Structure 1
């Protein structure tokens, strides 16, 4: 009876959740740096020149940058994945223990 594959599923989930948490932490850090560079009232300014209108159109066409809220949601999701991975590992260990008890 081969039991080498048992345990790999939960650890894969935990590893993926760690990657998600790392990415979310980087997004949070980048959003903070971006927010510090911007004038807090910049969104309220209106530039009526042609150059300002062209810049506004380019900004509307660009991909939105991830906000801190999105990054925090991703971080929360990573936490839930981590808990699920730990639960899978615990259940796999219980199952392995039961299999070994039956074998002896």
Structure 2
């Protein structure tokens, strides 16, 4: 039989495991989307929004009005190659054109 303190520690460990599982499921869902917001990209990469903007050499944002979006395809590529070559060395014109086609007529 465990003490009240041990029981509380077990409850905390269980809650932490549930939180980690929920975060993992959220990340998986975001990676499956084609475009995500700045906040979602920062969450996926586990960095702040400011840090994400500082790393725009690697993680190239797409501007729509006042909002910033990111292509998950480009994020994956840049994340994998971040130590090799900045994303700015890649042509992101195709990604931006596809984003514009998908969002044409929608308001920001």
TM-score by length of 1: 0.36
Choose between structure 1 and 2 for higher RCO, CA contacts under 8 A separated by at least 6 residues.
Answer: 1
Higher helix share: 1
The structure number with the bigger radius of gyration is 1
TM-score, scaled to structure 2: 0.35
